[in-house]
Structure 1
Amino acid sequence: MQLPYLLKVAGDCLGDDDWLAKQPCPVIAIGSGVDRQADVVLPDESAAAALIAAIENSPTAALVLVQVLRAVEGMPVPHAMTLESLAFGLLQTGPEYQRWLTERSKPPALVVEGEGEAIEITREGSVLRARMNRPVQRNSLSVEMRDALVELLDLVRVDDTITCLELSAAGACFSVGGELREFGLMPSATQAHLLRSVHNPSRLIAAVADRVHCHLHGACMGSGIEIPAFAAKVTADRRTFFQLPELRFGLIPGAGGCVSISRRIGRQRTAWMALSGRKINSRTALAWGLVDAISE
């Protein structure tokens, strides 16, 4: 068995352009400067401690994460999303995710909490304004919310008189990501992959990205940042924070985040966010390019 991670000195010349792709583990470079032959670059070994702990807790998910991020660089978005979905489905059958499922106190169940439509929509001329409307669930990506987003984005796709979709959310935060209480509902990982291939808000928002503006606030976790990161314009309230928590469930970002986020902030910063599970604030998100502007 290979070690779950590999430390190397940043900038160390290895004489092989494909060296990183051949490594069956996350590679952490220690030192200053950008090192293309690494999945994450950190200033010193002390900064790597939390990262290493997370990798050791979910070594398979950590490996699959960096392999996907390495592979999708430069790949067309539809192909990259298919690869991400296949990898996500593979991990759904694995022991790390299955362990998390069995440790939950309640079995999975559909969640519908709140009144009115899941997404409230108004139109002013060529501008469509949509607000996710499940504040009690913190606008989690439930089956209901996913279906509502698919319907909304499909409308934008087919109606070219809509020149701009303004997407925001009601309540304390934009979205805390996938509705964890529904995880495990699909009868098989293959059926889940089929659903992600044909009924996926991420694929649709990527297809109409040039007409979409997402305004974010509060918590933006998992799919709560993975989906809006595809939009051509992303703004955020100054109190917004961003997080990719999937590794602790034995998974990788599976709502398009390996593609959308890495195209905004790069492979290494995306790997750091997903491996560490750490939050970043709106100032960091702006500096990295995860958001385009901070506005109230």
Structure 2
Amino acid sequence: MQRRGELLQLVLNRPQTNNAYSVEMREGLCEAFSMVNLDPSIRQVNLTARGRCFSTGGELAEFGSVSDPASAHQIRSLTLPARLMLASAARYHVHVHRACIGSGLELPAFAGRLTADPQTFFSLPELSMGLMPGAGGCVSLSRRMGRQRTAYLVLMNRKIDAPTALDWGLIDAIVEGEPDAVAQAD
């Protein structure tokens, strides 16, 4: 996290796990997003990621670590960064690159502006694992591209590329360049 005047730069920095959302990362995002909601002097938040891709979604090693499904749902609901991002969505610009999978897609879709590298692909594989998208994607994606296209992604377990995502309204623009450079050009 780096602040320069009215700009807050956030970077997912777990490249060794393809920026999978761990409990620690979710808590860090919740803390940063809460700060944005409390500080109106932060006029823009740029969120990017280091490494080979933006995010491959939830940390699979943590799945099933809570024995009671109801407790697991409650814990995830209390630490849901998407809910906090939504409160100030217009201030967020998220730039994604390469793989944008599961919650790694659901969270960025809440941003006021979502851009993608030309080589980016998007996927919601949860149903094939016996899960439902649980990071707010049924809401965030539907707002961007409609219920039918969201249902297609959820039910068909297909990838879409950046040009298709742009055509469907999932992303706002295709932007070439390294994530840090794209964010600084904003």
Which band: TM-score by shorter chain?
over 0.9
Matched, 1:234 2:100: no
SS at match of 1:161: coil
Q: How does 1:211-290 map to 2 (within 5 A)?
A: 211-290=91-170
Instruction: For 2:76 and 2:62, locate their aligned partners in 1 and report how far apart those are by CA, in whole Å.
Output: 15
Report the CA distance between 1:187 and its aligned residue: 2.7
Task: String of CA shifts for 1:176-208, please: whole Å, max 9, x gaps.
Answer: 001111100123122122223322101111111
**2:26 corresponds to 1:154:** no
Give SS of 1:191's match: helix
For residues 144-171 of structure 1, what are the alpha-carbon distances to aligned partners after superposition, in whole Å with 9 as ceiling and x for unaligned? 1111111111111111110010000000
Structure 2 counterparts to residues 133-144 of structure 1, below 5 A = 133-144=13-24
List per-residue Cα deviations over 1:254-295 (Å, max 9, x = no partner). 100010001111111111111111100000000001000011
Task: Give me the whole-angstrom Cα distance separating, in 2, the residues matched to 1:140 and 1:197.
Answer: 18
Distance 1:200 1:242 in 2: 20
Alpha-carbon separation, structure 2, partners of 1:209 and 1:186: 31
Q: Secondary structure at the match of 1:196?
A: helix
Matched position secondary structure for 1:213: strand
User: Given residue 246 of structure 1, which amino acid in structure 2 is its aligned partner?
Assistant: E
User: What corresponds to 2:65 in structure 1?
Assistant: 185
CA–CA distance in 2 between the matches of 1:188 and 1:228? Answer: 29
Correspondence list, 1:23-38, <5 A: none
Structure 2 gaps of 5+ residues are 177-186
Q: Secondary structure at the match of 1:248?
A: helix
The secondary structure found in structure 1 opposite 2:19 is coil
What letter corresponds to residue 273 of structure 1 in structure 2? L
- In the TM superposition, what are the counterparts of 1:34-53 in structure 2 within 5 Å? none
Question: Whose radius of gyration is greater, 1 or 2?
Answer: 1
Instruction: For 1:122 and 1:180, locate their aligned partners in 2 and report how far apart those are by CA, in whole Å.
Output: 28
- The letter for the 2-side match of 1:242 is F
Partner of 2:74: 194
Q: What letter is aligned with 2:35?
A: L
Deviations 1:123-160 (A, max 9, x none): 11100011100000000011111111111111111111
* Cα RMSD after superposing both structures: 0.9
TM-score (norm 2): 0.92
Q: How far apart, CA to CA, are the structure 2 residues paired with 1:223 and 1:188? A: 21
In 2, Cα distance between equivalents of 1:278 and 1:285: 12
Count how many residue pairs are aligned between Structure 1 and Structure 2. Answer: 176
Q: Percent identity?
A: 55
Q: Within 1, Cα distance between the matches of 2:43 and 2:97? A: 23
Matching residue of 2:183: none
Cα distance in structure 2, aligned partners of 1:208 and 1:190:
29
Q: Structure 1: any 5+ residue segments left out of the alignment? A: 1-120
Give a deviation string over 1:3-37, Cα, whole Å, max 9, x none: xxxxxxxxxxxxxxxxxxxxxxxxxxxxxxxxxxx
Query: Partner residue of 2:180?
Result: none
Query: Structure 1-normalised TM-score?
Result: 0.58
- Residue 149 of structure 1 aligns to a residue in which SS? helix
The partner residue of 1:206 within 82, 86, 91 is 86
